[in-house]
Amino acid sequence: MEKRHIITVNPDAAQAFSLHTGCGECPTSCQSACKTSCTVANQVCIKEQKA
Amino acid sequence: MVHTFALHDLKLALDVESGALHILDDAAFCAVRLLAAGIGRQEVHAKLQAEYGKQTASQVMAEIEAAEEQGLLFSVSRRVDLATDGAVKALCLHLAHDCNLRCKYCFAGTGNYGGARGLMPLDVAKAAVDFLLQAAAGRKHLEIDFFGGEPLLNFPVLKETVAYGRQKAEARGKKLKFTVTTNAYNVPEEVKDYLNREEISIVLSLDGRREVHDRMRVTPAGRGSWESVLQNCRQIVAGRGGDNYYLRGTYTRHNLDFCQDVKEMVGHGFRLLSLEPAVLSPAAEEALQEEDLPVIFAEYEKLAALLWEWEEAGQKVYFFHFELDLHQGPCAKKRLLGCGAGSSYLAVTPDGKLYPCHQFAGEADFCVGNVKEGITAPEIRRRFAAVDSAAKAECAVCFARYFCGGGCHAAAWHQNRDLARPYALGCKLHRKRVECGLYLQAKRMLAKTGR
C-alpha cells in the first residue's frame, strides 16, 4: 500500500531489535565517550557490523 | 506505547516496543496522538473526517492499520530474557588517583576520589588484566579504559599494561580494546606518538570556548588550561587522521548556550564530539536545576538544527548523544541492561580494589572484591544486575527506555540513594537528546530518498 501520510524511517526496526539477542559481545557504553550520562542506542551490534 | 513529538519542521512518532520511527503529516500526527491517548478508533476517524475530510481520514486510518499489521505501530510489549552469566567484559583501570588539573566539577574530588593521591603499580595493572581475562569467560571482545585522575601521569604503566594485555589476550583468543580518557593538559610528543601508533582510542576533555573551559578546568595554581589542552588535542587528532577519538566536554549552568561550545570545537576542526551535562550535588553553584530545562531543551533543539545544517553542507559532525542507530543498533537485551556497571563492567582503583564503576571508586560499601582474589562480595553485583531498566518503575512508562539502558546507576545512587530510582533531571535531558537524535535520523532518511 502506498503511504501518503506516514513515512517509516526504519521499516526493518522490528527485526533489528531482535537479532543476535544477548550475545554480550557489544561494547560497554561507559567505555566510549560518556562517563556520566548513560547511552546505549548509539552503539552498533558487533554481529551486525560483521554481517 | 507510542511517543509523538514535533521538532522543527517534522512531526514524528516513535513506536517504543518495535523501535520504529515514523514521519507524519498533520492528519496522521493528529490521529496517532489521539490513539496513543486512548481515544477509540471510531471517534478518531470522525475527528479526522471533520478536520481533514473523508478521503484523508480513510487513508490515514488505513495507513495506521497497515503499520500496525507490520508490527511497527502500537506494537505489544516485548518479553526479553535479561538473565546474565556474570561475565566481566570491561574494566575501568584507575591508573592514577591524582591529577595535574583541579577541575571544579570533578566527580573524583579533583582526581583523588577523596583519598590519598597515588598511582597504580604495574603489578596491580597486570593482575587486573589477568582478572579480566579470567572473568570474561566465553566473551571474545573485551575492553580496558585507562582512567583517573589523569591516567597519563602513569604513562610507563599504561604502556606496559597494553603490551602485557595484548600478549595475554592473543594467547587466549580474545580481542582487547584500549581507551584512554585524558585531560590532554600535558601530553609529551612521545606519548602522543605512542597513543596514535598503537591505535589506543582516546577521549579528550575540552569544554569548548576558552572562557567556559578555563572557568572550570584549572591547574593547581588556578590558571586556565585551555590553550595547552587545545594544542594537544589538535596534534593528537591530526596524528590519528581525525579518527578514533572523542572530544568530550562538560556543560554546567554557566554555559547553557553550549551550542557556542560545539561551534568552537568544530571551528578547531574536531568532528567527533560529546558534550555532557555536569552531574553535581543540587546545591553546587554549577549544578543544573529544574528551572534550566526549558533553556537546555531549546539549546539541544538548536544544536540538532545546526548539526543537520553542517551535514547537509557535507561537514558531518558526530554528536555522541544524538547518534542513534535505528537499523543495526544493539539488541533489546543490551538496551535494557544498559551500561553493565557492577555486572559486566567494573572499575579498578590503584590499590587493586574492584568497584561497580568509576563513580563508585573508593566507596567502601560498594567494593566488590580485588584483582588478586577476584569477586568477594557477589551480593553487591547482584544488586546492580537486578536494576536493569525493566525493573524500574520510571522506565516502564518512559518512551526512551530502549535508548538509555535505564540511566546511570551512579547518578541514581548519588542523587537518590536508590539504585532503582533514576536521576530524574538526567532522564529529562536524555529524553530530549533522544528526540533530537530521532529527528536527525528522520532528516537523513528524507534526504536520502529525495523526499
Lowest mean pLDDT among A11-20, B189-198, B374-383, B395-404: A11-20
Q: How much is the average pLDDT of A23-43?
A: 76
Reading the block at residue A25, the C-alpha cell is: 559481545
Where b means 16+ CB within 10 Å and e means fewer, B136-172 reads: beebbbbbbbbbbbbbbbbbebbbebbeebbebbeee
**Cell 554555559 sits at which residue?**
B255
Q: How many angstroms separate the Cα of B107 from the Cα of each of B20, B29, B219, B225, B345? A: 37, 43, 16, 18, 19
Lowest mean pLDDT among B16-25, B160-169, B202-211, B384-393: B384-393
The closest alpha carbon to B352, from B40, B16, B41, B123, belongs to B123
Provide the ipTM: 0.91
pLDDT in tens, B322-353: 998 888 778 888 888 888 899 999 999 999 99
Flag if A5 and B56 touch (Cβ within 8 Å).
yes
Tell me which residue in B18, B331, B344 faces A13 most closely, judged by beta carbons: B18
What is the overall mean pLDDT for chain B? 95
Put simply, whether A50 touches B (Cβ < 8 Å) is no
Give me the percent of chain B exceeding a pLDDT of 70: 100
Q: How much is the average pLDDT of A9-38?
A: 75
pLDDT band at A51 (very low <50, low <70, confident <90, very high): very low
Q: How many angstroms separate the Cα of B413 from the Cα of each of A15, B105, B277, B286, B366? A: 35, 18, 17, 20, 11
Say which residues have a Cβ less than 8 Å from residue B417's Cβ, sequence separation at least 6. Answer: none
Where b means 16+ CB within 10 Å and e means fewer, B328-338 reads: bbbbbbbbbbb
pLDDT band at B182 (very low <50, low <70, confident <90, very high): very high
Cα separation, B442 vs B329, in Å, equals 16
* pLDDT exceeds cutoff 70 at B234: yes
Reading the block at residue B443, the C-alpha cell is: 532528516
Cβ-based neighbour number of residue B121 at 10 Å? 14
Flag if B277 and A29 touch (Cβ within 8 Å).
no
User: Is residue B142 a contact partner of residue B169, using CB atoms and an 8 Å limit?
Assistant: yes
User: Is residue A28 a contact partner of residue B90, using CB atoms and an 8 Å limit?
Assistant: yes
H/E segment holding residue B255? none
Say which residues have a Cβ less than 8 Å from residue B159's Cβ, sequence separation at least 6. Answer: B194
Say which residues have a Cβ less than 8 Å from residue B371's Cβ, sequence separation at least 6. Answer: B124, B127, B128, B130, B131, B348, B352, B354
pLDDT in tens, B57-78: 999 999 999 999 999 999 988 7
Cα separation, B134 vs B147, in Å, equals 21
Q: How much is the average pLDDT of B362-383?
A: 96
Flag if B334 and A18 touch (Cβ within 8 Å).
no
Between strands B353-355 and B345-348, the pairing is antiparallel
Flag if A37 and B426 touch (Cβ within 8 Å).
yes
Number of alpha carbons in the 13 Å side-chain half-sphere of residue B417: 0
User: Is residue A37 a contact partner of residue B249, using CB atoms and an 8 Å limit?
Assistant: no
Flag if B411 and A30 touch (Cβ within 8 Å).
no
The closest alpha carbon to B34, from B64, B68, B75, belongs to B64
Cα separation, B345 vs B387, in Å, equals 14
* pLDDT exceeds cutoff 60 at A50: no
pLDDT (0 to 100) of residue A34: 67
Residue in chain A closest to B414 (alpha carbons) equals A36
Beta bridge partners of B119: B96
Cis bond leading into B149, ω under 30°? Answer: yes
Between strands B201-205 and B175-182, the pairing is parallel
Distance from CA of B50 to the nearest CA of A (A): 17
Put simply, whether B243 touches A (Cβ < 8 Å) is no
| CA B282, B210, B192, B270 torsion-angle sign | positive
Put simply, whether B89 touches A (Cβ < 8 Å) is yes
The closest alpha carbon to B102, from B117, B88, B92, belongs to B117
Measured between beta carbons, which residues in chain A are less than 8 angstroms from residue B23? 6-9
Measured between beta carbons, which residues in chain A are less than 8 angstroms from residue B250? 36
pLDDT band at A18 (very low <50, low <70, confident <90, very high): low
CB contacts < 8 Å between A and B, how many? Answer: 238
Flag if B92 and A27 touch (Cβ within 8 Å).
no
